[in-house]
Each structure stands twice: as structure tokens, then as C-alpha cells.
Amino acid sequence: MIFLKTEDEIELMRAANQLVAKTLAEVGKHVKSGVTTKELDRVAEEFIRDNGGVPTFKDFPNPCGGTPFPASICTSVNDVVVHGVPNDTPLVDGDIVSVDCGVLLDGFNGDSCYTFCVGEVSEDVAKLLDVTKKALYEGIACAQQGKRIGDISSAVQTLCESHGYGVVREFVGHGIGRKMHEDPQVPNYGRKGNGPMIKSGLCIAIEPMITMGSPKVYMMEDNWTIKTRDGKPSAHFEHTIAVHKGKLEILSSFEDIEKAK
Ligand code: MG
Ligand code: MG
């Protein structure tokens, strides 16, 4: 069941997503060679709580029956696609790290992810990040009232596959609101004109998870970390958007992240 949001609810969604955006920017300031992802997690948790939010991912129940998620952000390095658990391994120049952040504020959730470069990355990794981010915005551009979820999916898939990249099938974008994951699912692959109709009040997280090689992934023994099977790097960019008043609005933002670069 898709919960369409009122203007008042979208206002709260906007606030939650702005806090996510500011948290990601804060984390981004600390991304450099020698820093551990556990340190990034501490920065995020402190920032979220200082601003009155609750990190949604902390103690998030494990869908595979394992232990709950132990941290406030997911930090997915290089060949980790999603759900990387912050650890004590220092980042090194040339790494990429996808920081996925969820915040609950005043009863509503925000959700956004940005893949950061640690120092200089190789040209082909930089291109993977560029194309994945572009795919996110091309998907968002299709999230117009009266279109269908499949229009978003198709736009993301078409661009990424035209570059020979893999589109991960096992994980998808989602509706978002009082719960982090609501209906509808928003896959990064699909056909134009298919799927649920986009109506006013729809709030969804669009989040291409794109690999440099094969789209095949596997889960590590911690029951969280998802890696590419071929060991090639993977990128992940995510925005939460709302469709309302006949327009689409991106509720999260990369502006502060990119201003700080
Ligand atoms: Mg996310
Ligand atoms: Mg999400």
C-alpha cells in the first residue's frame, strides 16, 4: 500500500532529509586517507543526535536474521555495494566509500547516499561515479506526476548499461515516510510505462547501485555487507524526492557536500 503524503507531512520529510544532507556533508569533510569508517560513523551519529534526529540504521533489524545493524551509517568501500559495516580499516588514497545515511526526525525519515573519493581515484572509477550520479538525476527527471515507476527504472538502467556497467537487481529504491522502507519498490531496471502510477504526494528514495563489471553480488558472513562477485568497484547515489503541487522536489541535497570539495 502506497501512503501518499500531505503538504504538512512533506514539510517534515524535507526537514529530515535536510538533516541527512547536512550529515553527509559533515562526514564528507572527514573522508581522507588514514581515517577509518568507524570514525566516520562517530561523526555521523554525533551530528544526527546533536540536531535532534535519530539514526535510522542504528540497530536496524537484520532482514536475514542476523544481528541488527551496529552503526549509524552504512560505509561501503570499493567492491562493497551496500550495507558496509563501519570498521577499523583506514581508508587509503584511491578508495571510494559510499556513505548511506538515514535519519528519523519528528516521525519522518530521510534517506540519501553519496559515494566519496578518497584522494585521487583512477579515471575509470571517476567515470563510474559520474555515470551513476547522472543516472540518479535522469531517473529523478522521470518522476513526474502521471508517469510510472518503470519510467524511472528504465532511465537509470538504459544510461548505466550503455556504459557497460552492471545494474544490481537484489536491492532497489523505495517509498519512504513514517517508515524507512514503504511501497512502492523503485528498481533500477525495468520498462517504461510499467509499474505503479506516480501520484501527487508520492515520496520515494531513488538509488542506483551500479557496478563497474557484472551486476552479480553476494552477502558476507556478517549478514550485512554486500560485495560484487567479480571484486570490481560499485557506486551508490541516492536522493529522497517528493511529487507534489504538480512538481517534483528533491528533498535531500548534495549541495553542501559538493560545496565543501
Ligand atoms: Mg539509503
Ligand atoms: Mg534507501
10-residue mean pLDDT series, the chain (261 residues): 98 98 98 98 98 97 93 98 98 98 98 98 98 98 98 98 98 98 98 98 98 98 97 98 96 95 74
The pLDDT value given to residue 12:
98
What pLDDT is attached to residue 195?
Answer: 97
Confidence at residue 261, expressed as pLDDT on a 0 to 100 scale: 74
**What is d(CA 47, CA 105) in angstroms, rounded to the nearest whole number?**
13
Ligand nearest to the CA of 55: 1
Neighbours of ion ligand 2 (CB under 5 A): 111, 205
Protein residues with C-beta less than 5 angstroms from the ion ligand 1 = 100, 111, 113, 238
User: Are 206 and 241 a contacting pair, CB within 8 Å?
Assistant: yes
Residues 24, 110: contact at Cβ < 8 Å? no
For the chain, report the end-to-end CA distance as a whole number of angstroms: 40
Distance 209 CA to ligand 1 centre (A): 11
Ordered by where they begin, the domains of the chain are: 7-259 (3.90.230.10)
User: What is the reported pLDDT for 203?
Assistant: 98
Question: How far apart are alpha carbons 4 and 261 in whole angstroms?
Answer: 36
Q: Among all ligands shown, which has an atom nearest to the Cα of 236?
A: 1
CA 210, distance to chain mean position in Å, is: 11
